[in-house]
Amino acid sequence: MNRMSIVFTRVTVFIGLVALLAFPFAARSQTPQATPPPPASPRSVEFPRPVEQTLANGLRVIVIERSDTPLVSAQLLIKNGGEIDPPELPGLADMTANLLTKGTQSRDATQIAEAIEALGGALESGARWDASNVTVGVMSAKLGPALEILADVVRRPTFSKEEVERLRQQYLDNLTLALGEPGSIARFVAARVVFGDTPYGHPIAGTTESLARISRDDIAKMHSRFYRPDNAILVIGGDISAKDGFTLATRYFGDWQKPSVAMPAVSAAVDAAAATKPGRVVVIDKPDAGQAAVFLARIGISRKDADYFRGIVANSVLSGYSGRLNQEIRIKRGLSYGAASTLDARRDIGPFVASAQTKNESGAQVADLLLSEINRLASAPPADPELTPRKAVLIGNFSRSLETGGGLVTQVASLALYGLSLDEINHYINNVQAIGAADVQKFAGKHLDAKTSNIIVVGNAKVFLPELERRYPNVEVIKVSDMDLNSALLRKKQPTK
């Protein structure tokens, strides 16, 4: 449901040239001054301080009090996600998390949806990399009943055969939708190219083949091994006192038994050799693609890397509306609706991805621009008049993400997941301000080498391939019908005659 009809915006997601022939428009009148008035002095900000307790069963409970709106958000995290999928079963962690809300010992799927929606809210669950989570948002007076349902679905899911089959079909349908879109194909392929057969390499919501293989037993086993209080974090934020938060957490999660067996060992992850291998250029030929998706992808850093703040500032120089990628690709050349990059720092080394969608004709040109911008960042430090605003962007985005209760819980949950100090939300601004131009260049030189970066282009290859091959001698072309996301080979094995 939505209220307004479809609208088009200037930019999605994130938020001067020499005039050859100026076309002077007759202004109807003049504003009284030709330069902008300067800013007044700024006001300072302070974010709430999270408090925490660990229950006897090992569950870590965090409460963040902020009472300006009568709403509360809660998130239960399990400290593992898609990275624990067995190699032959991509999608298992995500299906397991998704099925939590599809039936417990006392409620079926319909009863769960009705119970939570009658309260006015929704219960969402799923897996991502490094974590699985269940979230709920309620009016503060209703937190009790909502947490009761949250605890029920985390602790007592039944994974009925019927629900497993239903969800399997939904995942297959969603995958069919994703495989029709050049951007999502490029994301799947980029992960395989960067991570190969290691734990971050597969599609987190599965492949056509793996979804067919996942059984109810696999799901129940994953739940019993990983969904345990000593592998979980509960974060509650909004219009709630710490005392009430801990009382409710104890009421609904206090008797959750910790299994006597130790947590299964989880092997980490990324192939260290990936940092030194020469980059590949992979083309997925999708002849009916209405646009080409162009990705530059490589390994980045882990969340606990000492270079983290250098990294996010370096990424901010590249990304965002006025970042270098969008400046060069959209603003100067009109080649895309938007170009951006992400430094996705995870428990283990995560990916760095820069991307843009463009008409098929300019696929090779955009690939070149992505690579040359990565090179440029490593070759010279950004000047201060460029760097200062890019740091302001990061600080502004961060501060706005904490404006809503849901945003506050998400930020704190992420710090908790990676074992970082929860008070980092109050040090973030200083940490960003401390980064200098030399740090940015150093980071790019150490972590974003263009020579070991990969290029992935998904689109109508016959339009851009000749130019791409002229620029790069090592282009690998895979027809979309031959593409196989189940392994690092990316190509279906030819049937032997």
Q: 458 forms bridges with which residues in the sheet? A: 284, 293
Q: Which is nearer to other proteins, 3 or 497 (CB)?
A: 3
Nearer Cβ to other proteins (101/231): 101
Beta bridge partners of 285: 459, 479
Closest approach of other proteins to the CB of residue 281, in Å: 21
Q: In 3-state terms, what secondary structure has residue 136?
A: strand
What residue has token string 């009382």? 247
Q: Which helix (H) or strand (E) holds 467?
A: helix 461-471
Nearer to other proteins, 403 or 423 (CB): 403
Please, which residue, 17 or 262, has the CB nearer to other proteins? 17
Helix (H) or strand (E) holding 401: helix 384-401
Name the strand (E) or helix (H) holding 458. Answer: strand 454-459
CB of 123 to other proteins, least distance (A): 8
* Pair 80, 348: CB distance under 8 Å: no
The CB-of-420 to other proteins minimum distance in angstroms stands at 23
**Nearer to other proteins among residue 84 and residue 293 (C-beta):** 293
Identity of the residue, 184 or 250, whose beta carbon is nearer to other proteins in the bound complex: 184
Q: Cβ closer to other proteins: 394 or 450?
A: 394
User: Which residues lie closer than 8 Å to 167 by C-beta, 6 or more apart?
Assistant: 95, 98, 99, 102
Name the minimum Å distance from CB 31 to other proteins: 5
For residue 379, what are its two tokens? Answer: 């070759």
Token representation of residue 141: 């007076």
Name the 3-class secondary structure at 76. strand
Alpha-helical segments (H) within 74-180:
92-99, 109-118, 143-155, 161-178
480: exposed, middle or buried (C-beta count within 10 Å: 0-12, 13-18, 19+)? middle
Nearer to other proteins, 231 or 291 (CB): 291
In the complex, least distance from residue 200 CB atom to other proteins, rounded to whole angstroms:
24
Q: Which is nearer to other proteins, 191 or 432 (CB)?
A: 432
Q: Which residues contact 44 (CB under 8 A, 6 or more apart)?
A: none
Q: How far is the CB of 384 from other proteins (least distance, A)?
A: 12
CB of 131 to other proteins, least distance (A): 19
CA dist 86 and 207 (Å) reads 13
Q: What is the DSSP letter of 108?
A: B
Instruction: Tell me the closest approach of the beta carbon of residue 134 to other proteins, in angstroms.
Output: 12
Query: Least CB distance from residue 60 to other proteins, whole Å?
Result: 23
Cβ neighbors of 118 (< 8 A, separation 6 or more) are: none
Nearest approach in angstroms of CB 261 to other proteins is 35
Q: How far apart are CA 86 and CA 347, in angstroms?
A: 18
Q: How far is CA 100 from CA 77, 96, 420, in A?
A: 13, 7, 28
Q: Are 297 and 454 in contact (CB under 8 A)?
A: yes
Min separation Cβ 224 and other proteins, Å: 26
User: How far is the CA of 465 from the CAs of 197, 280, 337, in angstroms?
Assistant: 27, 15, 22
> Between residues 224 and 322, which has the closer beta carbon with respect to other proteins?
322
φ, ψ at 379 (rounded to 5°): -90, -20
SS3 263: coil
Compute the least distance from the CB of residue 211 to other proteins, in Å.
12
DSSP state of 330: I
Taking the least distance from each CB to other proteins, the nearer of 198 and 336 is: 336
Q: What is the nearest approach in angstroms of other proteins to the Cβ of residue 53?
A: 25
314 in Cβ contact with 377 (< 8 Å): yes
Q: Is 355:301 a contact under the CB 8 Å cutoff?
A: no
Q: Which is nearer to other proteins, 34 or 262 (CB)?
A: 34
Closest CB to other proteins among residues 24, 473: 24
Ramachandran quadrant class, 25 (left: phi over 0; alpha: psi -120 to 50; beta: rest): beta
Longest pairwise C-alpha distance within the chain: 81
CA distance 371 to 328: 12
